[in-house]
Amino acid sequence: MRICPSCGKHVEDGVLYCPEDGTRLSSVADFAPNSTPSTTGLRLLNTVLGSYRLLKILGEGGMGRVYLAEHTRLGRRVALKTLRSEYASNPSAVRRFFREARAVNQIRHENIVEITDFIEQEGGENYYIMELLEGVNLAEVLSAEGALPQDRILRIGLQIASALASVHEAGIVHRDLKSENIFLVERSGQKDFAKLFDFGVAKLYQPTVDPAVWKTQAGAILGTPEYMSPEQASGKEVDYRSDIYSFGIILFEMVTGQKPFKGKSFGEMVIKHLTVRPPRPSRMKDLPRPVDPALEELVLACLEKDPVKRPPSMRAVETRLLMLRGQAQADAPTLVPRPARRAKAWLATGLLLVLVLAGVGGWAALRPGEEAAQPAGPAAVEVSFDSAPPGAQVFAEGAVQPLGRTPFRASFDRAERRARFEFVLEGYQRAREEVGLGSSSRLLVTLAKLEPPPEPEEPPLVPPEVERPVKDPKKPPVKTGPGKTEKPDKPDDKGPDKPEDLGATIDPFE
């Protein structure tokens, strides 16, 4: 059953938009218990919150509502997310609500929704402002179209993998990754530009903590059952590898148009995540096209029950997707112009007769020993530039202006030489690679992340220097009697003026 967030109308599953007002429908499961738009969110419509007038409910989740809002003076439209009133008095819920805003602002990745402001009022409304996205979420695309072509899977998957890798490197685990939380828009003529959002149950960590020990509290089950990792579904400690499992389910959906597990209850879903191996995507029924074996192996690797057996990081997943895209481009058929058909014999004979009658010996145009010129080959070659992570600027050797930002393609004059290029991306070490320009080719560079500079070491604790007495070499020993020599007076060992023993070790704590 689905529900309209604007008018509260209930509609059967399979319908995407409200038949009354055209609003995109939400799942009934997304609403808090005993809560519907008609009794809660609707009361705020057409009211002013801060500097924004609330025009329409765009969606509701377990903790908050998202409104279409308009700035009362500037007229700029945004998405405004509020915390549900039933959670506003809960300090823990308020902290979790604003965790999303802080998490997103830490990362600043183009494939993550931008949050521009957030307002926390003790005892009042708590909300933050997001960029307004106009498009459709991935779940709706899969519901309408089913399995996607591989080039589209790789295009969307690479963007999400890159965003998640940056999320994890910032010390954050999303914990509610699902196709509904991936929005596809058109930007600068690029279709399927992906935006990752809804970090409402994200867990923040210290960026300096080793990712291998990132954890969240045991026993806390947060997220969506169909996308939960086994450790998350069973309430165990969760780290960034849980997101890799959820990403594997999204890849499975894009490849097959179906989820790997289905269940009628939360308990049934938990059991399947814990004990049932996912089916091979290539063996699912009614597939519209064959499944690439390499892509299938990546999907199954992400869905391993044991987190240790999954890919070591989202950056590693991104690299494998880049390799798949490069292989697909290399395997794509190249269109070669067909040679012109031979002229018919009678036409050739006729032309020869015309030449003879005109007194022109066409065959004599070539001097003895000369050969006919060979047709010239293509004058240009194409080089595909790619990097992991993407977005690196590429410079030709000695150039000031970049050729472009990865991934992209560029054409060069064919030449029997090698050209050198430099890849530059903020936060990563520069990389230099060269490629021959005798034929079309592809450059894929994996960039190494810059290590933070080491903190200066504190100088070692040095005890204060003690003034040492200088022996007087001219002072002779004193004789006191026959055969006896008395040494100079030695100060009392326990006296305050005791000089330091030159051969002793200084104890700074004495």
Tell me the catalytic residues: 176
Rounded Cα distance between 72 and 76, Å, is 8
> Sheet holding 408-413: strands in order across?
408-413, 380-388, 441-446
How far lies 99's CA from each of 86, 95, 106, 133, 174, in Å? 18, 6, 11, 21, 11
Rounded Cα distance between 411 and 416, Å, is 15
Residues belonging to the chain: 510
- Using alpha carbons, select from 118, 115, 117, 119 the residue that is nearest to residue 131: 115
Q: Which two tokens stand for residue 266?
A: 């939360």
DSSP secondary structure code for residue 494 in this structure: T
- Residue 232 falls in which region: left (phi positive, over 0), alpha (psi -120 to 50) or beta: alpha
- Using alpha carbons, select from 49, 57, 78, 53 the residue that is nearest to residue 5: 57
Q: What is the DSSP string of 364-432?
A: GGSPTT--PPPPP--SEEEEEEEEESS--EEEETT-SS-SEESSEEEEEE--SSEEEEEEE-TTB--EE
- Using alpha carbons, select from 218, 216, 261 the residue that is nearest to residue 243: 216
Which stretches within 170-285 are classed as H helix? 230-233, 241-256, 266-275
Which residues sit opposite 303 in a β-bridge?
A: none
Asked if 106 contacts 98 with a C-beta cutoff of 8 angstroms, the reply is no
Which stretches within 202-313 are classed as H helix? 230-233, 241-256, 266-275, 293-302
